[in-house]
Structure 1
């Protein structure tokens, strides 16, 4: 039944993108798409996983946004995402960045069509998992982004040779943390009425709008958070991407502990220290 639901999964057309630096990220080294990748999941989870798999990186996959584009309510989608996390397809993470001298958290959701165990996710998010280099024959993400420019606006159409010539410059964007959507938006925004030479125009914008280098500690690359509650995991990691409490392992809190915790949350909301968590996707 789950397999039959895959073809019925909604198409991700016109799905909104997250704010730059947030949203979906695809895990590396996934098996090729077969159309039966989520047949081991229940029908609802298979349908949602198929939809997520088709979305571009940096797509907004917050529960609220997904509920607007899928035939499920927010509670059902939240439960399904928890189940996808437990099945090894999804992990929520955060990483520290500095913007205009102010530290903040950036939130991502890594998605993998190929199910991974906890050990793989822990190693990958710490920057320790081996990642297979793409074969030279396969077009790179940078090449694809350059080709996408012409599909979005004919004024920026590049030949195969021109895409190849600019590929290294475009790849530098990805090295600095940008995604395909960010690159395409930066190069194609505010076009003049007529572009005389697409190659020269794109090359100039790739140079002029190149994002700054990231000066973040390499280890760990990301801090995993619980898929359900969003709280950081213990030093030993999260089982299935979920903390002990969300697995039902943590004993209930006493009345005085609940009161103290509620007071801390109210104080945090008053000072605005938790506002970034609401932006995660």
Structure 2
């Protein structure tokens, strides 16, 4: 039923529109059986839209002729309350600071706590749907291991460059991890050999022990992170599904602000006069009224 108008789906501007929430259960026929008919119909339609599709009220009303804009708006609010969608304003990430509005949809209903974790980027620990079992792959013979690692080869090259540092196969294997630290920190094999063979004493009684000490004492520092290579993470702010006002998750229960929930706004009790403050206010109002009467008499 909800697939009727999925041909030629209107797409939102790049970066906007529908986004699929992570960790959803596999699609089934009973995904929205807990919803009223209207909400279930619209939810099933949105669920099948591709990411990036326009899901604003006006577009959905055009694509779903059975319901007008007011009905669609009401349905989206109810889908938000039961946890199927939230609206966010966020940056595009990857170093770009442009802010876009996105509607995240989950066929699996989520509570406010889940959406708050999603807002902070902490949904990686949520259990993902368990995939169907697949036959175990046929074991293949392991690929032959390379004869020598780059670190092992660099240690062998020490003896080739300087006979005083000729190492046995056992010594090369024993020092391989220490040499690998040098290469991991950006030291080229040729520089590795040059550094370790420079300034040698005339006599080296134990090439293995001597090389070990040099590997430990002269190991270069870890390279600093490249400031240009790292990009700031995307920032995300929750918006009211109904009116778009931004707010903290605790102020948007079910994804809606107090006004869209039909609740009166919170009163700043610090601004409400009580006790003696009321008498002072009344006295000032009476004085102001008498002053205006005198000015009018003039």
Shorter chain as denominator, the TM-score bin is: 0.5 to 0.7
Aligned to 1:228: 242
Query: Residues 85 and 242 of structure 1 are in contact (CA less than 8 Å); yes or no, is this contact kept in structure 2?
Result: yes
Asked if residue 73 in structure 1 is aligned to residue 68 in structure 2, the reply is: yes
Which of the residues 15, 37, 44 maps onto 2:38?
44
Where do 5+ consecutive residues of structure 1 fail to align?
1-6, 139-212, 254-281
Q: Distance in 1 between matches of 2:41 and 2:73?
A: 14
Aligned to 2:181: none
1:123/1:244 CA distance change after superposition, 3 Å: same
Deviations 1:139-187 (A, max 9, x none): xxxxxxxxxxxxxxxxxxxxxxxxxxxxxxxxxxxxxxxxxxxxxxxxx
> How far apart are residue 214 of structure 1 and its match?
8.8
Higher relative contact order (CA 8 A, sep 6+): 1
Asked if residue 128 in structure 1 is aligned to residue 118 in structure 2, the reply is: no
Asked if residue 111 in structure 1 is aligned to residue 111 in structure 2, the reply is: no
Aligned to 1:56: 50
Q: Distance in 1 between matches of 2:92 and 2:25?
A: 31
Which of the residues 19, 25, 30 maps onto 2:13?
19
CA RMSD of aligned residues (A): 3.0
Q: Distance in 2 between matches of 1:76 and 1:122?
A: 27
What secondary structure, in the 3-state scheme, does the structure 1 residue paired with 2:122 have? coil
Which of the residues 60, 63, 82 maps onto 1:87?
82
Rg comparison, structure with higher value: 2
Where do 5+ consecutive residues of structure 2 fail to align?
134-228, 268-298
Which of the residues 235, 238, 244 maps onto 2:252?
238
> How far apart are residue 13 of structure 1 and its match?
1.6
Q: How many positions carry a matched residue from both structures?
A: 170
Query: Residues 96 and 106 of structure 1 are in contact (CA less than 8 Å); yes or no, is this contact kept in structure 2?
Result: yes
> How far apart are residue 215 of structure 1 and its match?
3.3
- Give the stretch that moved more between structures: 72-81 or 243-252: 243-252
> How far apart are residue 222 of structure 1 and its match?
1.6
1:235/1:28 CA distance change after superposition, 3 Å: closer
Q: Distance in 2 between matches of 1:79 and 1:136?
A: 35
Aligned to 1:145: none
Query: Residues 24 and 108 of structure 2 are in contact (CA less than 8 Å); yes or no, is this contact kept in structure 1?
Result: yes
Q: Distance in 2 between matches of 1:77 and 1:92?
A: 15
Trace 1:132-281 onto structure 2 (pairs within 5 A): 215-217=231-233, 221-234=235-248, 236-251=250-265
> How far apart are residue 249 of structure 1 and its match?
1.8
> How far apart are residue 109 of structure 1 and its match?
0.1
> How far apart are residue 98 of structure 1 and its match?
8.8
TM-score (norm 1): 0.54
